[in-house]
Amino acid sequence: MSTDIAHEEHHHGPPKGIGRWLFSTNHKDIGTMYLVFALTMLFVGGASAMYIRAELFMPGVQFMEPDFYNNMVTNHALIMVFAVVMPAAAGLANWMIPMMIGAPDMALPRLNNLSFWLLPAAAVMLILSTVVPFLPGGGSAINTGWTLYPPLSIQTGMAMDFAIFTVHILGVSSILASINIVVTILNMRAPGMTLFKMPMFCWAWLFTGLLLIIIAPVLAGGVTMLLFDRHFGTSFFDAAGGGDPVLFQHLFWFFGHPEVYVLLLPSIGVLAMIIPTFARKPLFGYNSLVGGMAILFTLGLVAWAHHQYTVGMAAGPTTWFMIITILISIPVGLMLLNFMMTMWRGAMTFETPMLFAVAIVLMFSFAGVTGIMLAVVPADLEYHDSMFVVAHFHYALIPGALMGLLAAAFYWLPKWTGNMYDERLGKIFFWWNVISFNITFFPQHFYGLAGMPRRIVDYNPAFADLNMISSLGAFAYGLSHLLFLYIVIKTVRGGVKAGNKPWEGAQIGTPGLEWDLSSPPPFHSFTTPPVVK
């Protein structure tokens, strides 16, 4: 296929103007479109979060009916997961993987174009699902949360059908993109580039792509059965007709739990590129990091029902899911150890990408600790559906996924644009972003443990003070991304030209080591730095 496209472009030239983007088969252009789409949707999903926090600023119902509040919660989650983190990670994959493995382009360039253009169509359908309830006869809003549990999702109006088709389109897009990435990594490596010589980012995406190919069809099946229950008289999940609502939960979480690792793994790959560069040391334990990803991949697929301890499962499966969930902490802890040992005795400098990398290691560790608390059945029965859970997964997904993508953007902006970003503004953004994030979500651990439920529009006035702090932090956190947008636009438009190795000897004026695109170093990577006399 690549040859056909090259042949066509030889005769007609590459498409110009808007055609360059609509019909693009160039991995860099498609990567750019993914990144721009994700950045746009970040502000849409972020706006719904600001709306939620404005409502929770004080107890009582301020300006949102309960149905609309829950619709905002649903939209926020669906947008951030499917329209921000996954497309941004796919944008990084499109841009960087062919260059990292020495491939001329992605293996399936036209499929690449299709997998991107399905995303704006899905985004339009998701936004329509919010608009439909306001139309005459539109029915109620989606008030189920992103989990779409029946029986609520069977009773909800037409907006739910839009959400189901949104999930279908997003699923097709994810599967096509994943097939493309996996095939590219397995088939398109340059001669001599064995799997164990690949940069770690490629390994991260190999596991991510395989995970998505396994789990996305299961969610598609689940929401298709939901559609049949809604319109064709079946009773897969309708207890009145002999169905089982908990069956949907199993189908959803068989997708939903590995999906967490789909969001985390690309960022782990990014950290494995950034930390060696700024520590000026080879990555510590290349093989063990690949092994950790493989174990995470395997255990992640068989731990899904720890989201369902309260549904009345038998003691046997409940114990299984608890033990597997606790075991997952081992490969995650080992990965963090790899990163810390890479930094140990390195000649570190702290440019913006490295600041984000260090912050991620610290804050994601915190998510790991609260994750162990939630893994233990008797404790989880108390914490379930409280704001403590909200705090836990935001500490997992914002440092573990979103901040990893921000670090990648600062790290590779010189590569993408040919210009260096403004380092001073980058550092201001980092501190503003990280401090406001912690002000937002740290208090939620406490009022969650004290008993405040999530997904409820009103709350006990006893939680008012902490909610006010949380909301103020959220407004500051949301605003920080406007600075990020400014930095990106400023860098795209011009600035100090980036050299061939923009991070070589960064700040300290000595020749550094640029490990980002090289094959891994020899096994004895834990060497003592030279003594400076």
Tell me the CB-side half-sphere exposure of residue 97, using CA atoms within 13 A.
Answer: 35
Residue 391 within any structural domain of the chain: yes
**Dist. CA 72–CA 46, nearest whole Å:** 11
Residue 296 within any structural domain of the chain: yes
pLDDT (0 to 100) of residue 11: 53
* CATH for 73: 1.20.210.10
Residue 358 within any structural domain of the chain: yes
pLDDT (0 to 100) of residue 381: 94
pLDDT (0 to 100) of residue 140: 86
CB atoms within 10 A of CB 289: 26
Q: Give 317: exposed, middle or buried? Use CB within 10 Å, 0-12, 13-18, 19+.
A: exposed
Residue 158 within any structural domain of the chain: yes
Q: 386 by DSSP, 3-state: which?
A: strand
Residue 8 within any structural domain of the chain: no
**Dist. CA 517–CA 203, nearest whole Å:** 13
User: What is the residue type of 252?
Assistant: F
pLDDT (0 to 100) of residue 58: 95
CB atoms within 10 A of CB 45: 21
Residue 354 within any structural domain of the chain: yes
Residue 262 within any structural domain of the chain: yes
**Dist. CA 411–CA 393, nearest whole Å:** 25
Structure tokens at 15: 């498409």
The residues, any chain, with a CB within 8 Å of residue 362's CB and separated by 6 or more, are none
- pLDDT tens for the chain, 533 residues: list them: 445 544 544 456 667 788 889 999 999 999 999 999 999 999 999 999 999 999 999 999 998 889 899 999 999 999 999 999 999 999 999 999 999 999 999 999 999 999 999 999 999 999 999 899 888 888 888 989 999 999 999 988 899 999 999 999 999 999 999 999 999 999 999 999 999 999 999 999 999 999 999 999 999 999 999 999 999 999 999 999 999 999 999 999 999 999 999 999 999 999 999 999 999 999 999 999 999 999 999 999 999 999 999 999 999 999 999 999 999 999 999 999 999 999 999 889 999 999 999 999 999 999 999 999 999 999 999 999 999 999 999 999 999 999 999 999 999 999 999 999 999 999 999 999 999 999 999 999 999 999 999 999 999 999 999 999 999 999 999 999 999 999 999 999 988 888 888 887 554 333 334 444 444 443 333 444 444 44
Q: DSSP for 204-255?
A: HHHHHHHHHHHHHHHHHHHHHHHHHHHHS---SS-GGGT--HHHHHHHHHHH
In angstroms, the Cα distances linking 115 to 35, 82, 208, 211, 470 are 14, 13, 16, 17, 37
Residue 521 within any structural domain of the chain: no
The structural domain count of the chain equals: 1
pLDDT (0 to 100) of residue 512: 38
Domain of residue 420 covers 17-516
| φ and ψ of 500, to 5 deg | -65, -35
Angle 326-332-382 from CA coordinates, rounded to 5°: 35
pLDDT (0 to 100) of residue 12: 60
pLDDT (0 to 100) of residue 15: 73
3-class SS string, 57-93 = CCCCCCCCCHHHHHHHHHHHHHHHHHHHHHHHHHHHH
